[in-house]
Structure 1
Amino acid sequence: MAATALVLILLGCRGEPPSAAEIAAAKQERPALDQIELQIQTDAATHPFTVEVARTPDEQARGLMFRESLAPNVGMLFPFPEPRPASFWMKNTLIPLDMIFVRPDGTIARIAVNTTPLSLAPVGVGEPVAAVLEIAGGRSVELGIDEGDRVSWPGGPSF
């Protein structure tokens, strides 16, 4: 774990995209995360996703960094112990993502569509959220997912 943290710190200090060798090294050190089934309910349909759950601060700091692809119905969930305003960036994230900010009642507060890979610009929401869901960039538009739709998962917000 200390080696992973050192790699992330060193890569973050350079200010340039990671090399193929650095990406390969980071992938080898990625621990497996728990996976759960999650649903997003729109007016038209229920959309199932299989997501990895980033629970610890280290898992949340790493997120989807160094991933070179993301399948259409997978993602990563960042649940918080208590609702809080959240802000993420795309540093060392190689693919565009949709960031879905989920309120404590399970409704979607904001969707940041097709966030810019490798960007240091913060992407956030100005209200407390219970979780952030990251899915493949543009997928929320493809599926017609909007603010106000509902996200649910085992142990997640109840409504």
Structure 2
Amino acid sequence: MRLASLVLFLATLLPMAGCATDGDWVELKGQRYEVELADDHAERNRGLMFRESLAEGTGMLFVHDAERPLAYWMKNTKIPLDIFYFDASRKLVSVSRGVPPCSLGDRCPPYPSSGPAMYVLELNAGQANALDVRAGDPITFGPGIPDRGEP
């Protein structure tokens, strides 16, 4: 009887385990997003390619080794995205809103930053408008995200 009660109790806790947010996160305009990190060459190249969807409240943060003009594209990306470019001091440089999926391979168009950037955040399309972001808006990193720029 005790074992059955313990199993039943643990089964009620399992759904809550998925609610814990111990993963990496960023915060923009008071909204927190769980993010996957792409902080090496291979991860940055793959990005969100071939994904069928991106869960609400999640995204991908690309961390570069140096601040420089960047351009991202949607090669093999199936999800419309907003692409946010941040400089080394974690201030918004520019955003490409509502970037459509692209299945043209190497012929997909680039979406460049309007100035040097070090961090790129990709979220579901529409988030930039919903947050009403503007150049200069700061992004906050959770404790697990490497800081390669100036705080």
Q: TM-score range by the shorter chain?
A: 0.7 to 0.9
Q: Give the structure 2 partner of residue 122 of structure 1.
A: 110
**In 1, distance between residues paired with 2:75 and 2:99?**
11
Q: Give the structure 2 partner of residue 52 of structure 1.
A: 36
Q: Give the structure 2 partner of residue 22 of structure 1.
A: none
Q: Which moved more, 1:84-93 or 1:148-157?
A: 148-157
Q: CA deviation at 1:115?
A: 0.5
Q: CA deviation at 1:143?
A: 2.2
Q: Which moved more, 1:124-133 or 1:75-84?
A: 124-133
What SS does the aligned partner of 2:115 have?
coil
Q: In the alignment, is the contact (CA less than 8 A) between 2:36 and 2:61 conserved in 1?
A: yes
Q: Decide which structure has greater strand share.
A: 2
1:131 aligns with 2:134: no
- Return the letter of the residue paired with 2:36: E
**In 2, distance between residues paired with 1:68 and 1:145?**
26
- Return the letter of the residue paired with 2:99: T
In structure 2, runs of 5+ residues without a counterpart are 1-22
Q: In the alignment, is the contact (CA less than 8 A) between 2:82 and 2:96 conserved in 1?
A: yes
CA offsets 1:87-138 (integer angstroms, 9 cap, x no match) = 1110100010000000111110101001021161000114211111000011
Q: In the alignment, is the contact (CA less than 8 A) between 1:101 and 1:132 conserved in 2?
A: yes
Q: In the alignment, is the contact (CA less than 8 A) between 1:72 and 1:139 conserved in 2?
A: no
Q: In the alignment, is the contact (CA less than 8 A) between 2:94 and 2:114 conserved in 1?
A: no
- Return the letter of the residue paired with 1:59: E
Largest Rg, 1 or 2: 2
1:152 aligns with 2:123: no
Q: CA deviation at 1:68?
A: 1.1
User: Normalising by the residue count of structure 1, what TM-score does the alignment of the two structures yield?
Assistant: 0.71
Aligned residues: 121
Q: CA deviation at 1:158?
A: 4.6
**In 2, distance between residues paired with 1:88 and 1:136?**
15
Q: CA deviation at 1:147?
A: 2.0
- Return the letter of the residue paired with 1:128: P
Q: Give the structure 1 partner of residue 28 of structure 2.
A: 40
Q: Point out which structure has higher relative CO (alpha carbons under 8 A, 6+ apart).
A: 2
Q: Counterparts in 2 of 1:1-159, with a 5 A limit?
A: 35-41=23-29, 46-118=30-102, 120-153=108-141, 154=143, 155-156=146-147, 157-159=149-151
**In 1, distance between residues paired with 2:52 and 2:130?**
20
Q: In the alignment, is the contact (CA less than 8 A) between 2:93 and 2:116 conserved in 1?
A: no
RMSD: 1.5
Q: Give the structure 2 partner of residue 26 of structure 1.
A: none
